[in-house]
Amino acid sequence: MILSILAVLGGLVALALGGELLVRGAVGISRMLGISPLVTGLVVVGAATSMPELVASVQAAMLGAPGIAWGNIVGSNIANSLLILGAAALIAPIALRGVGKRDALIGLVAALFLWLATYAQWASPVLGMALLAALMVYIVWRLRQLPETDDEDDHDEGSPVWWLALLQFGGGLAALVGGGDLLVNGAIELAQMAGVSQTAIGLTIVAIGTSLPELAATAAAALRGRSELAIGNVVGSNLFNLLLIGGVTMTIAPQPIPFELVDIEWPVLVASALLVLGLCRYARRLGRGLGVLLLAAFAANTGLVFAL
């Protein structure tokens, strides 16, 4: 029991540190390439902060624990939309101004499709590869788009050093792999000892732990007034969770998505995706009052996971 708890804690620390390094390296590389703030958040940082979820879900799937793998994917998206955005809004209100609305719509469509796949119990490497192909189409399309706002990126951090950015990216990736292994193995053992389902562990402990890089990146962007980077990170990470991590997991371990997610957690995920779309499309800012409501909704859902 103690060793399992230490493994989970050690894995969470490694994921947090690895995610921070990976984000720093990814942002440095994107700045050298001259990519806009919104696209940096959606594609570069969104992909980088999704690496903990990718490592944890793939390792869980390979260890024969699909409940943790898919619980992590669903739980991480719920955490991004409710916990991460809520906490970031408490730290510093986020100006929205209509950014990311097309990307949030794609995320909603992807969530609805995977909800249907769960209900129908579809499972095939072809499905996984289709999700990955959809992601590639999205990335190419997004990189060809002009920024949705005219805000210019600031360069107050100085010019990035290419070798340092690559070193941070590689070191962060190594920490994520090791941390993901510790976290998944420890979580499986705790679930077995406590009599809690693997899906519940994936929805809570693993999902929150692997979402720490998104929290760090979004909070830092909000504090610096980088609203496009903040909302782009959340929306982009949600997309990568569903299409990249879901696609890789389904390809290497083509097992049906746990049916226990159908009645509550998929609807919560879809509702949170719809909420993010509404914020991106209609709201001018995400203030502290709404941030508190988002955090309360996340706490209620977490309590519901263990109550059922």
| 78-90 tens-digit pLDDT | 999 999 899 888 8
Any domain includes 191: no
- Please give the pLDDT value at position 78: 96
More confident residue, 51 or 227: 51
d(CA 274, CA 252): 30
Q: Tell me the Cα Rg of the chain.
A: 18
Number of domains in the chain: 1
208 Cβ contact list (under 8 Å, min separation 6) = 75, 79, 83
**What's the CATH number where 119 sits?**
1.20.1420.30
Asked whether the beta carbons of 220 and 19 are under 8 A apart, the reply is no
In a domain, 185, yes or no: no
Whole-angstrom Cα distance, residue 48 to residue 54?
Answer: 10
pLDDT per position as a tens digit, 151-166: 444 444 555 688 888 8
The two tokens of residue 148 are 């949705």
Domain extent at residue 295: 36-54+65-159+197-307
On whether residue 254 sits in a domain, the answer given is yes
